Amino acid sequence: QVQLVESGGGLVQAGGSLRLSCAASGRTFSDYPMGWFRQAPGKEREFVAAIDWVGSSTSYANSVKGRFTISRDNAKDTVYLQMNSLKPEDAALYYCALRSVRGGSLRSEIREYDSWGQGTQVTVSS
């Protein structure tokens, strides 16, 4: 079983940037696609971004496309989410997740992901 630990959240002004990190342990991280999701109070968890096992293919929710960038460093067992031009509506608890399909395709459905971190809070002030 893999353990995922997110970090990098915090309070930022609208228009600012944050970089989230997700460190994996306990399993071969580099074989699997990874995703970032978020959940705001009173709302359902939603897809943000995904990256394949190599790091060459990515996908994004329309709401973050052009502002957020997902990347990974398999040597460090870490996936990142660079968030620029943050908006108040980006405020949420951000989770990273691993899809346990070796070499699998990018997916946005929550049910496709098997392992989840505890989340890191992002707050955006207007």
What is the rounded CA–CA span in Å between residue 105 and residue 44?
Answer: 23
> How far does the chain reach from its first CA to its final CA, in angstroms?
40
Confidence band, pLDDT 50/70/90 cuts, at residue 1: confident
User: Based on the number of CB atoms within 10 Å of its own CB, is 103 exposed (0-12), middle (13-18) or buried (19 or more)?
Assistant: exposed
Q: Residue 39: which H helix or E strand, with range? A: strand 34-39
- Return the higher-pLDDT residue of 30 and 97: 97
**Structure tokens belonging to residue 124:** 């955006």
Q: How high does pLDDT run on average in the chain?
A: 96
Model confidence pLDDT, tens digit, residues 29-72: 889 999 999 999 999 999 999 999 999 999 999 999 999 999 99
**Structure tokens belonging to residue 23:** 């460190």
